[in-house]
Amino acid sequence: MFHKEGQKIIITTFFLVVAIVLVAQYYIELDWVRFAVQIAALILLVLILQFFRNPKRLVTPNFDEILAPVDGKVVVIEEVEEPEYFKDRRKQVSIFMSPLNVHVTRYAASGTVTYSKYHPGKYLVAWHPKSSTENERTTVILHTPKFGEIGYRQIAGAVARRIVNYAEEGEQVTQGQDAGFIKFGSRVDLLLPLDCDISVKLNQKVVGARTCIASFRENND
């Protein structure tokens, strides 16, 4: 199953690959050169298909857990000052996605979208410390039953040139539901309350809508 955001690119790439294969077949005389060109074209198609894959992941919403919004590797766990919306201290958990990861963004929790904003910006590598505030990005805030307001940012990387964000203010969303897509390499930052318990470690690989990122702390002070 492929994500709808990749339909045009997949169709365009398919016809391009077919054209390359046919041209090579009839116009390249050297067997090894013809074979190499055809294989390279087919590999390109396979890479595009795997990038836009969209595996179904059924989720039973759990108000006590924040799930990973994307597939990737945890590259940041730290307390930060969040200046755009919260204007206070937050726990930030950042997940880096390589071009080989599934790039679907899924809602980490169920709740109501209270803020959704796009910011144009730079295209620093996604693991750069300033990418969270200087790169092209979107900021989305959800009001959840247990955690209160939580935020996430879709951040473009050095290769990504388009962020797709489906969150609309006032919308009720469900944990695991499709929230958007980032094309070709990126990062997502989660902005969580200080009193939640982080369940992941640095460099841990996580799976969107599967891995618990943080849990609700009962009877916190």
Q: What tokens appear for 19 in the block?
A: 């054209």
Q: What tokens appear for 150 in the block?
A: 């939580």
Strand 197-198 with 163-165, pairing: unpaired
Catalytic residue of the set 94, 110, 131, 186? 186
Beta-bridge mates of residue 104: 181
Cα angle: 99, vertex 97, 117; to 5 degrees = 115
Asked whether 121 and 136 are in contact (CB, 8 A), the reply is yes
3-state secondary structure of 182: strand
Q: What is the C-alpha to C-alpha distance for residues 9 and 186, in angstroms, rounded to an integer?
A: 18
Asked whether 66 and 200 are in contact (CB, 8 A), the reply is no
pLDDT (tens place) for every residue of the chain, 221 residues total:
877 887 888 999 999 999 999 999 989 988 999 999 999 999 999 988 887 888 888 899 999 999 999 999 999 999 999 999 999 999 999 999 887 888 899 999 999 999 999 988 765 655 555 556 667 889 999 999 999 999 999 988 666 557 889 999 999 999 999 999 887 668 899 999 999 999 999 999 999 999 999 998 775 44
- The reported pTM is 0.84
186 is an active site residue? yes
Q: What is the C-alpha to C-alpha distance for residues 145 and 110, in angstroms, rounded to an integer?
A: 8
